[in-house]
Amino acid sequence: MATHSMTCHPATPAKLTRGIAIDIARQQDGSIRIRYDVDAPPGGLKLGKPGKPERRDQLWQTTCFEAFVREAGKVGYLEFNFAPSSAWAAYSFADYRSDMVDLPMASLPELSYDGDQSHFAFIAMFELPPALRDANLQMAITAVIEERDGTKSYWSLTHPVGAPDFHHPDCFTLRLPARARS
């Protein structure tokens, strides 16, 4: 498992969130597991009420954890959105922000979180389509954090120049090598 630190976009400073670190690993079955460790008091954040997992659009409008995935060297990509409420979304794009369609999922993502008074951890485990399970991957790992007073901060491993844009090709900096074949 590899640990990486995310940075807050300079145009969207957080008041309560001091940092986000992620641990990411490819599982034996080809699925991806990401742990987002948020250094912020959960009571000061809008996390939603945990419920049954359901597919829902526009999760990025409040606290949401995201993963963008593409095969190394390709243009098309997938977007996965996960909320602490257990809502999720998955999309496929043919190119930068174009030809978006819902991505069918063979199984529901596994989502969980826990925390204490000063931080919380959100864990997402999700399957990739068969064509990507054994591929070299490029990923953009991102988060939107909304505080109870409405402050929103945008976090990523890398930010492109200009406004926050998690879809931007410059965000796909994380490399996840293909699984070793047995």
pLDDT tens for residues 160-170? 999 999 999 99
Query: Which pTM value belongs to this model?
Result: 0.94
In a domain, 181, yes or no: no
pLDDT tens for residues 41-77? 999 999 988 888 899 999 999 999 999 999 999 999 9
Q: Are 148 and 135 in contact (CB under 8 A)?
A: no
Polymer length of the chain:
182
CA dihedral 90, 85, 163, 19 (to 10 degrees): -120
In a domain, 182, yes or no: no
Q: Which domain holds residue 68?
A: 2-176
CATH code, domain with 75? 2.60.40.1190
In the chain, how many domains are there?
A: 1
In a domain, 115, yes or no: yes
